[in-house]
Structure 1
Amino acid sequence: MIAFAAAVFFLIVTPGPGVLSTAGVGAAFGGRAGVRYVIGLCIGTNIVALAVISGVAAVVLADPRIRTVLFVLSTGYLLYLAFRIATAGSRIAFIEAQHKPGIRDGLALQAVNPKAYAVNTVMFSGFAIGLGPVAEPVVKLLIMNAIWLPLHFLWLGLGVWLRSLDLAERTQRMINIAMAGSMLVVVGLALASLI
């Protein structure tokens, strides 16, 4: 179980669309909007997990046309996000939006978030903890949520904290480039999985 919890921690804490957008919502709109957004992400993540556990995701993704459409949408979104971050200049720019994101926005992101499907597939198809076919997924869901929620609230807190800082332009630009690079690594890993 410790190996499972450690894997969950490292897979979730690394930058991906969910945590980067969470920090962005905190930076742009503050904590209250961020909490609503994290609730949507959490519901979405658990829906993805249930789709993986039940096999629905495997059935849907078995159709190459659907898999290709979802891959193009998610990769395009990640490339767009990386571009927006990298070209934001001297502002901290995790993600920009014209309205306060809420629960629906978090749900929508997780529906096309390739990292959510990848993490859940790895976690539920690997790391057998020997509790049986019903108890094991339930325990894994509880462990994942116990790690997932605090990590996303930490990223939200980071965004709220960055909102309050007056960083030098060069520092802000370096943060943007590092975030964009992280997003490109996610895209690269997704593309590599096709080979």
Structure 2
Amino acid sequence: MFDELASFLIAAFALTGSPGPNTLSVAAVGASFGRLKGLNYMLGLSAGVGLVIVIVGTGISGAILAIPGLAPLITAAAVLYFLYLAWRIATAPPLSGLPDETRARAPRWYAGVLLSLSNPKAYAAMGALFSGYTLLPGAPVQDGLTKAAIVMVVILIVNTLWLSVGAGLAQTLRNPKASRMVNIAFAVLLLASVALVAFG
């Protein structure tokens, strides 16, 4: 069991911590708006992955995608949302460029939930983790709940680290021109990661 748990943890950190729409978006929010303003978004992002776990674990995702013609509509809606979020990140003013009361508002917690729910990588990662490992043989319900709890702890650690990385960049790059370049770079990377996951 301990070998399986170790393998599961390694896979969980690798699948959820590698660059992708969720991790890049939370780092971008940290860089564009700072750690404190990005915290609500990060918590929403993590809660959204929790919902993805429920959707994948209960088989709802398979049932939804089996409806004829629905998959392309879901993909189109997800792409539009990612474009909107990338635009928000790319056009965010530098943290040092405006007083607090006039700064652009950071994405809210529900934006993080929506991003997780529209992120193809989240569904693929959860599907791989939940179908590829058994921590408690002979007890499928307890096994699923245990894996869900472990993955949520991993998600919170990973998202906190990526938010801190982004916020660290914000503290380093106080120059408005450099800040704009970093914001645009994060927005482009976010869109590229979505394209790779969805169409790669």
Query: How big is the shift at 1:84?
Result: 9.0
What amino acid sits opposite 1:166 in the alignment?
L
3-state SS, counterpart of residue 48 of structure 1 = helix
Q: Which residue of 2 aligns with 1:27?
A: 31
Residue 107 (structure 1) aligned to one of 103, 113, 122: 113
Q: Which residue of 2 aligns with 1:191?
A: 199
Q: Which residue of 1 aligns with 2:16?
A: 12
Q: Which residue of 2 aligns with 1:2?
A: 6
CA distance in structure 2 between the aligned counterparts of 1:128 and 1:181, rounded to whole angstroms: 34
Gap runs ≥5 in structure 2: 95-102
Q: Which residue of 1 aligns with 2:162?
A: 155
The answer to whether the aligner puts 1:135 opposite 2:142 as a matched pair is yes
Query: How big is the shift at 1:190?
Result: 2.5
Q: Looking at CA atoms only, which structure, 1 or 2, has the larger radius of gyration?
A: 2
Query: How big is the shift at 1:129?
Result: 2.6
What amino acid sits opposite 2:150 in the alignment?
I
Asked whether the equivalents of residues 31 and 168 of structure 2 are also in contact (C-alpha less than 8 Å), the reply is yes
3-state SS, counterpart of residue 111 of structure 2 = helix
Give the stretch that moved more between structures: 75-84 or 15-24.
75-84
Q: 1:160 to 1:185 in 2, by over 3 A?
A: closer
CA distance in structure 2 between the aligned counterparts of 1:81 and 1:103, rounded to whole angstroms: 13
Asked whether the equivalents of residues 79 and 184 of structure 1 are also in contact (C-alpha less than 8 Å), the reply is no
3-state SS, counterpart of residue 107 of structure 1 = helix
3-state SS, counterpart of residue 12 of structure 1 = helix
Q: 1:68 to 1:11 in 2, by over 3 A?
A: same
CA distance in structure 2 between the aligned counterparts of 1:173 and 1:31, rounded to whole angstroms: 19
Query: How big is the shift at 1:80?
Result: 7.2
CA distance in structure 2 between the aligned counterparts of 1:43 and 1:175, rounded to whole angstroms: 25
CA distance in structure 2 between the aligned counterparts of 1:145 and 1:180, rounded to whole angstroms: 27
State the number of aligned residues: 185
CA distance in structure 2 between the aligned counterparts of 1:65 and 1:118, rounded to whole angstroms: 20
Query: How big is the shift at 1:184?
Result: 2.7
CA distance in structure 1 between the aligned counterparts of 2:24 and 2:45, rounded to whole angstroms: 12
Gap runs ≥5 in structure 1: 92-96
Runs of 4+ residues deviating >6 angstroms: 79-85, 167-170
Q: 1:178 to 1:99 in 2, by over 3 A?
A: closer
The answer to whether the aligner puts 1:41 opposite 2:45 as a matched pair is yes
CA distance in structure 2 between the aligned counterparts of 1:29 and 1:167, rounded to whole angstroms: 12
| TM-score, normalised relative to structure 1 | 0.78
CA distance in structure 1 between the aligned counterparts of 2:125 and 2:106, rounded to whole angstroms: 27
| TM-score, normalised relative to structure 2 | 0.76
Q: Which residue of 2 aligns with 1:119?
A: 125
Query: How big is the shift at 1:45?
Result: 0.7
Give the stretch that moved more between structures: 21-30 or 45-54.
21-30
CA distance in structure 2 between the aligned counterparts of 1:174 and 1:39, rounded to whole angstroms: 23
Q: Which residue of 1 aligns with 2:98?
A: none
The answer to whether the aligner puts 1:63 opposite 2:62 as a matched pair is no
